[in-house]
Structure 1
Amino acid sequence: MIVVTALSFGLRFWHLERFDIFVFDEVYYVKFAQAYLAGMPEFDAHPPLGKYFIAAGIFLSKDLFLESPVSHRWMNALVGGLVPLLVMGIALTLSELNTVTKQAAEQTQNPAQNPAKQWTFACLAGGFVAIDGLFITESRYALINIYLVFFGLLGHWLWLQAHLIQHQPQRLPQRQQAASPAVRVTVYRVLAGIALGCAIATKWNAIGYLLSLLIWELYQNNKLLRVSGRIPQIKALSRQIAALCTYGILIPAFTYSALWWPHLYLSKEHFIALHRTLLTFHLHLGTHSHSACSKWYTWPLLIKPIAYWYEKKGPWAYSVSNLGNPVLWWLSSAAIAVLAIAVAIGLAKAVVIFGKNVLSRQSFRQSFRQSPRKPPSHALSSSEETVKNNSLNGSWRNHPLAAYLLIGYATNWLPWAVVGRCTFIYLYMPAVVFSFMTLAWLLSEWLYSPVNRPWAKTISWIMLGAIALSFLFWLPLSLGLPLTSESLSWRWWLKSWI
């Protein structure tokens, strides 16, 4: 974890002063931030929190960096450097939740754990974010997407902590068990709601982070009730919905509204009138062509990255692109597809089994409460049992992690399918984190498989080696390092990358 964090900060702070000009949308966001410091905010199509942070960075470093571009970039590098740490925290918490769910499903007090596998999953997930070109570039310049991702993931980590404490308070460290679990759950959920409100106050598309948590929480709570043999009751569902509305809607909405106050105070505008203007702007943005536009369905394949900066000096070419790590993106897209297919197959099998139970005149309650964790001794052969226990097949239903990854990915990516205007690949940042985590989970499962599978470990190491080489090969495009024209052309594998 220390190595991943150090690598993350090193890549984001290294020579942050390079290019003493505004790179890409810095020309807008730095101007907006300086307008806040001057007390005369300007109209922008997005909520204000991202610009507040850039303005705070300029204000806090005005005497230290003077006119250096570091003054408006260091805050992004700091926040961006923390994102891999959040991803590692989420991965570790999800591993704990998997253990809790397995304990409930198998009715065991101390289910087997593999700390090495859990930490491998966490470090791979965080490491993938740390070395991805899109995240590096967005963290090195005064842009606002990294704040959306940071606060969205912070909200997720806090919410997952609350969920873990609620369902397994005895897993808290001894020094923390003195506090009431209910109080700790409330505190974590309030903080999660605030963080999610901050994400939406950066960009509206952060609603995907909020939506994914609400869907996952409702699904996971009801699944735990079924696993433990209790059918969800109306009262229980009502309490869940009330809690979700309070922590997942009201608190984020209040936070979002409160964060507009400095802007409204300086601009003398009205909250509702301003939002009407913003909504009208986005609805009438149109579908006009832009050289950097890309369709939502091309994002997982990394078809159309954006050139943030290009300059030619003598024999050297300096290019800054938000090109992600190609091998990492392609493998992670394949991993999320494999997980989605496995879940779809599992759902189809569950529907068939449920239908057979109904047709065999079992009562609805019996068929609903029937759990695959206790099949008759003659029901499964040894080979079927192996398939059932595979982490990407039958036992996915006992994996809150699988549901979390798929729901998070879908809610942050699929809504863009209904958007007709020009869209850009950086809008995929909230979703691609979940595909990175999916790949990390798959690799950790293969590396620590309880079944002797040499081929799986070999393939895992080949994948990791390819990702590392891909990172090194395309790193100059993330950092803007000098390359000859020939060397630069080697890195443009697709014509659309130019």
Structure 2
Amino acid sequence: MKILSPSKYWLFFIFSASLFLRFLGIGQIDNAVFDEIFYPQYGLMYLQGKEFFYAHPPLANYLYSISIWVYSLLPGSNIESLQTIEFSALNPISYRWLNALLGSLLPLIIYKISFLLSRNLLFALLCACLIAIEGSLIVDSRIALANIFLLTFGFASLYFLLRFYLLENRTSNLIMASVFMGMVISVKWSGLGFLLVAFFIMAIMELKEQKKPEIRHFIYVLFFTILAYTLLFVPDLYLNENYGLFEKHRQILSYHQTMVTENEHPYCSKWFTWPLMMRPVGYYFDNTMIDQGGIAASYFTTIHLLPNAFIYWFSTLAITVMIVSQTINIVLKKIGDQKKQILSAVIGFGYLANLLPWAFIDRCLFLYHYQPASIFSFIALAWYLSELLDANKPVYRLLAISLMVVIVLSFLYWLPFHMGFSIPEYEFSRRMWFESWI
């Protein structure tokens, strides 16, 4: 009988914890939350043959159609007919379970990417752990929004691309990377940041092996990405006949240019404030009065896209150090460990490619737009933690352990905001450290 290595046990534990955090009580709030009134409802409209227009590509809506349809097949779903049921009558679990599943897989994908880049098990496990317990990723895995699709497909694409260069030089890996890339752009156009990262990875990997990049690999990726993206529009064009492919894209572009203005929403935030987590997003809030021995006590139930503050702050420091040190090495032409240089370059470029384009966007932006970039910063944090843990000096190991303890304690501290647990008003206020968080 094959015995699992200790690292596999740790990975299994992280995955199990990820599943638990994402599935536990996902139906306790029994109505649509925040933008759940859009994505899942459009998914139901596909199933009912109703036409509609939406300001993003259609893949997320397809996925919610599939999610609702699969749920309707289960015994006890209480769905007599998908053709006649009102969206408000759906059990929210019907459109939330898919987010929870894909969100649970994200730590495994990041583990695979981190290990391919470093061959360092400790580093890869730390990456998976940070992704599993980070608050904003837990929240968006429990609510039916498209953000978790974008992250899962985007990093799955990068995994297959790295697999092509670092593990199996098979064209099938390039095709899989391209298909997932087409999928991520078919969720939201902001997924194009992953395409920039993919081309950067290809460039440095090709130059590492030879002086001149293999252009056909770039052509493969671009061709199959465009093909996958275009084909994913076909069902929508069939079901929504008001606009053709080009007109639909013109309408989407027009919407984002004219219909969503800066600061029109109370939770809008500037892109440069995201790394410091200055303006989280409130998804849901409810106030219940409970009689406690004749005294009415106020209990708040909230779902807040409030990331783990210490993961954000520590990771912002880590990615800054990594980018600055990498830049200095390039300027001074310092030649070090090639594997570490490639890892730093991929992480640093991945972060900037998913953050800096937002500087040129005038529309209202939210903290969740930072999630793709933030994961690269979490990877940077995991790298420095693993380096400290591997250091010879006990003080470095103690520092790493102290940082990890702070992260775990803060995860537990803000968990009620991520899971929708009801807490007394004073506990809510205690956790809102800054006025801008409310």
CA distance in 1 between counterparts of 2:357 and 2:315 reads 20
Aligned residue number for residue 387 of structure 1: none
Aligned residue number for residue 230 of structure 2: 257
CA distance in 1 between counterparts of 2:428 and 2:198 reads 41
CA distance in 1 between counterparts of 2:215 and 2:360 reads 27
Q: Assess if the C-alpha contact under 8 Å between 1:296 and 1:413 holds in 2.
A: yes
Q: Assess if the C-alpha contact under 8 Å between 2:196 and 2:353 holds in 1.
A: yes
- 2:95 pairs with one of 57, 61, 72: 72
Moved over 6 A (4+): none
Corresponding position: 1:413 with 2:355: yes
Q: Assess if the C-alpha contact under 8 Å between 2:350 and 2:376 holds in 1.
A: yes
Give me the TM-score of the superposition, normalised by structure 1: 0.79
Deviation string 1:13-61 (CA, Å, 9 cap, x unpaired) is 0011111111111011121111111112411111111111111110111
- 1:270 pairs with one of 236, 244, 254: 244
Q: Assess if the C-alpha contact under 8 Å between 1:79 and 1:150 holds in 2.
A: yes
CA distance in 2 between counterparts of 1:259 and 1:6 reads 32
CA distance in 2 between counterparts of 1:341 and 1:154 reads 28
Aligned residue number for residue 81 of structure 2: none
Deviates more, 1:483-492 or 1:285-294: 285-294
Residue 73 of structure 1 aligns to a residue whose secondary structure is helix
Q: Assess if the C-alpha contact under 8 Å between 2:263 and 2:364 holds in 1.
A: yes
Corresponding position: 1:158 with 2:168: no
Question: Shift of residue 287 of structure 1?
Answer: 2.3
Residue 167 of structure 2 aligns to a residue whose secondary structure is helix
Residue 201 of structure 1 aligns to a residue whose secondary structure is helix
- 2:16 pairs with one of 3, 6, 11: 6
Aligned residue number for residue 383 of structure 1: none
Q: Assess if the C-alpha contact under 8 Å between 1:88 and 1:122 holds in 2.
A: yes
Corresponding position: 1:304 with 2:244: no
Q: Assess if the C-alpha contact under 8 Å between 2:67 and 2:97 holds in 1.
A: yes
Corresponding position: 1:440 with 2:382: yes
Counting only pairs closer than 5 Å after superposition, residues 104-115 of structure 1 correspond to structure 2 as: none
CA distance in 2 between counterparts of 1:216 and 1:63 reads 42
Aligned residue number for residue 486 of structure 1: 426
Deviates more, 1:464-473 or 1:16-25: 16-25
CA distance in 1 between counterparts of 2:110 and 2:305 reads 20
CA distance in 2 between counterparts of 1:245 and 1:431 reads 26
The one-letter amino acid of 2:126's match is L
Give me the TM-score of the superposition, normalised by structure 2: 0.90
Deviation string 1:174-194 (CA, Å, 9 cap, x unpaired) is xxxxxxx5xxx2010001100
Question: Shift of residue 244 of structure 1?
Answer: 0.9
Q: Assess if the C-alpha contact under 8 Å between 2:58 and 2:186 holds in 1.
A: yes
Question: Shift of residue 63 of structure 1?
Answer: 4.1
Corresponding position: 1:124 with 2:126: yes
Counting only pairs closer than 5 Å after superposition, residues 3-152 of structure 1 correspond to structure 2 as: 3-64=13-74, 65-66=77-78, 67-96=90-119, 118-152=120-154
Corresponding position: 1:347 with 2:370: no
Deviation string 1:376-411 (CA, Å, 9 cap, x unpaired) is xxxxxxxxxxxxxxxxxx446753111110111110
Deviation string 1:335-370 (CA, Å, 9 cap, x unpaired) is 0001011112112212xx8xxxxxxxxxxxxxxxxx
Q: Assess if the C-alpha contact under 8 Å between 2:118 and 2:340 holds in 1.
A: no
- 1:196 pairs with one of 181, 185, 198: 181
Deviates more, 1:277-286 or 1:465-474: 277-286
Q: Assess if the C-alpha contact under 8 Å between 1:216 and 1:407 holds in 2.
A: no
Q: Assess if the C-alpha contact under 8 Å between 1:476 and 1:482 holds in 2.
A: yes
CA distance in 2 between counterparts of 1:53 and 1:410 reads 29
Deviation string 1:96-152 (CA, Å, 9 cap, x unpaired) is 4xxxxxxxxxxxxxxxxxxxxx22111111111111111111110111110011100
Q: Assess if the C-alpha contact under 8 Å between 1:32 and 1:41 holds in 2.
A: no
CA distance in 2 between counterparts of 1:396 and 1:412 reads 24
Q: Assess if the C-alpha contact under 8 Å between 1:340 and 1:406 holds in 2.
A: yes
- 1:329 pairs with one of 306, 312, 315: 312
CA distance in 2 between counterparts of 1:12 and 1:250 reads 36
Aligned residue number for residue 83 of structure 2: none
The one-letter amino acid of 2:398's match is T
Residue 25 of structure 1 aligns to a residue whose secondary structure is helix
Deviation string 1:389-445 (CA, Å, 9 cap, x unpaired) is xxxxx4467531111101111101111011111111101111111001111111111
Structure 2 residues without counterparts, runs of 5 or longer: 1-10, 79-89, 290-297
Residue 363 of structure 2 aligns to a residue whose secondary structure is coil
Question: Shift of residue 62 of structure 1?
Answer: 1.3
Deviation string 1:444-496 (CA, Å, 9 cap, x unpaired) is 111113xx222211110000000000000000000110110000001101111
Q: Assess if the C-alpha contact under 8 Å between 1:343 and 1:396 holds in 2.
A: no
The one-letter amino acid of 1:61's match is Y
CA RMSD across the alignment: 1.4
CA distance in 2 between counterparts of 1:224 and 1:465 reads 41
Residue 319 of structure 1 aligns to a residue whose secondary structure is strand
Aligned residue number for residue 365 of structure 1: none
Aligned residue number for residue 245 of structure 1: 219
- 1:404 pairs with one of 334, 342, 346: 346
Aligned residue number for residue 290 of structure 1: 265
Deviation string 1:280-300 (CA, Å, 9 cap, x unpaired) is 111213325321100000001
The count of aligned residue pairs is 405
Aligned residue number for residue 5 of structure 2: none
Residue 311 of structure 1 aligns to a residue whose secondary structure is strand
Q: Assess if the C-alpha contact under 8 Å between 2:299 and 2:424 holds in 1.
A: yes
CA distance in 2 between counterparts of 1:280 and 1:317 reads 39
- 2:302 pairs with one of 315, 319, 330: 319
Structure 1 residues without counterparts, runs of 5 or longer: 97-117, 167-180, 226-231, 354-371, 373-393
- Residues 279 and 335 (structure 1), Cα distance of their counterparts in 2 relative to 1, 3 Å cut: same
**Larger gyration radius, structure 1 or structure 2:** 1
Residue 307 of structure 1 aligns to a residue whose secondary structure is strand
